[in-house]
Structure 1
């Protein structure tokens, strides 16, 4: 039976919360959280390599389109682990020509002498469950540790910080978009190669953006709730309302709820588990730049991918929508909207 990773992570977090619930003194709480963190990190270190080998083996010997879901990861992450096993580390910056799946996965795995244990999918899933459990305990301990340290530092008030940098996001987006378009313009791909490369670029940029969004909002909320910084939307590349939406999410408020008064926000944020990030004033602009660049790359690659989809769907190729959907790794509804927007409008 497939593991419910969200439930497993929640269980691990609840256990850590329970272990630390009665430790009220911030210094004792910090020491207890450090102990949990260190034990969880030791477990992660012990499991990491074996997890990677088993997932790579499962992906190469027993691949199915939804296999990554058995391990609670994204399809592209599973592919990276497999490519790492075959070729060494994959460069995340290689947006134009990333390594693709070998034509014969099993043959390539055997050539690379990658082991194929019996019941490898089950074994990979079991060790991934242990890994995710340890990681969730590690993350939960870090949250308690940061809260304890921040409680000692802030004593209920706000830290004075300089105004964060305000990047030129229009230029950031334009340069990132132009880079992708120029790389593809000078490529020598045929239509099928172009489609596969563009789809891969979309996936990579989308994954990067998702990860960066979490980091950006964490830095944004740390500054907004715990420091004297104002006008954060200039540094985050979003609107005033975008900042408020991020703060509502962090506090678990509804979309229409008002934020608590500014004087009460540090205490409310601590109670909601919002992390204090020491160098957020430096991190926010840098993360926001990376996020906006990833989004611009994603949108540019989508244009190229969609054009390739339309080309391969038309004569003389006449690829069926099902094949196009499989190649780009997206639901058939996406392909439908690309090739026949009038039918789906």
Structure 2
């Protein structure tokens, strides 16, 4: 299932309505006053829509999870996860490192999250209104921050506060320990243990795939359009990894030097690098979630591979093909697990 809503166009059209309305006002004081009115109206509508939107998105995420579900609501994976976590009463825990519940639908029922008819239709409709209203609000705010917009248009950088730097070693260790503790107390047959470990690997891989583009977009937005320093320390990557992310965004060869810092904003815009709203606040959170997923993936791989070796040995004697079918991988992957040095 893929989203049929072009949220970029929806936001652009909504912002254009505000631009057209304000551009017709020549008196600067009157324009500022009207922009304030539009901003306040939009904020009131956002406040009235938010609870309904969040409840519907949480219900969809927990009752009807599908690949890239978040795209149907015009938000990122980490944002959808925060909304679902808040609905489950998990608070800040789910914002950074906690995985999805083992049985999302059961967790939703226990949290008494309603599941209305036509859930997806309702959730998408409210999400569209919410995103359009946010775009109108942001367009109005832009008129109230003309100096900031001028800096961006001229190719300069906006000032941001120092970034939060998560303790990634602790994030990774806690996430890995969580998986290991879960399987340490798991009393099931070897075949079921293998199946569950393979599912944990798949879940962590999917989470990484969802979070990586968000992390890199936030990194590039901060690197090219803001005054932020030490971004790699908030992204959980090395200096070299940080440079590689920027090279990919600009379409540069692997060994190319980055352009001089004053030229980067203009070149980034030409390359289509998006300016991510709230990147300074969101990057540490997204990066922590990614590193936690990476650590869960590594720990789950160890558990899965150990289970593979058990079932391939006496007294089970599973064939490579049978193991491959159980973990949904190619036989060559199983062969590498059995013969790590070959």
Q: Assess, with a 3 A threshold, how the Cα gap between structure 1 residues 172 and 182 changes in structure 2: closer, same or farther.
A: same
Deviation at 1:137? 8.0
Rounded to whole Å, the distance in 1 between the matches of 2:68 and 2:320 is: 27
In the alignment, structure 2 segments of 5+ residues that lack a partner are: 24-31, 72-76, 78-83, 107-114
The number of aligned residues is 293
Please tell me whether residue 275 in structure 1 is matched to residue 276 in structure 2: yes
Residue 13 of structure 1 corresponds to: 8
Residue 228 of structure 2 corresponds to: 229
Residues 232, 239 of structure 2: 8 Å contact kept: yes
Residue 254 of structure 1 corresponds to: 251
Rounded to whole Å, the distance in 2 between the matches of 1:97 and 1:45 is: 21
Relative to the length of structure 1, the TM-score reads: 0.58
Deviations 1:54-77 (A, max 9, x none): x75xx9xxxxxxxx579899xxx9
Q: Assess, with a 3 A threshold, how the Cα gap between structure 1 residues 185 and 95 changes in structure 2: closer, same or farther.
A: farther
In the alignment, structure 1 segments of 5+ residues that lack a partner are: 60-67, 78-83, 103-114, 116-122
Residue 329 of structure 2 corresponds to: 331
Deviations 1:201-239 (A, max 9, x none): 223333333344344334433432333221211221212
Deviation at 1:301? 0.7
Residues 42, 133 of structure 2: 8 Å contact kept: yes
Stretch of structure 1 that moved more, 205-214 or 93-102: 93-102
Q: Assess, with a 3 A threshold, how the Cα gap between structure 1 residues 283 and 17 changes in structure 2: closer, same or farther.
A: closer
Q: Assess, with a 3 A threshold, how the Cα gap between structure 1 residues 147 and 222 changes in structure 2: closer, same or farther.
A: farther
Deviations 1:150-173 (A, max 9, x none): 664623143434433444434443
Residue 81 of structure 2 corresponds to: none
User: How large is the RMSD of aligned CA atoms in angstroms?
Assistant: 5.3
Deviation at 1:308? 0.9
Residues 143, 275 of structure 1: 8 Å contact kept: no
- Out of 82, 98, 102, the residue aligned to residue 98 of structure 1 is 102
Relative to the length of structure 2, the TM-score reads: 0.59
Residues 20, 29 of structure 1: 8 Å contact kept: no
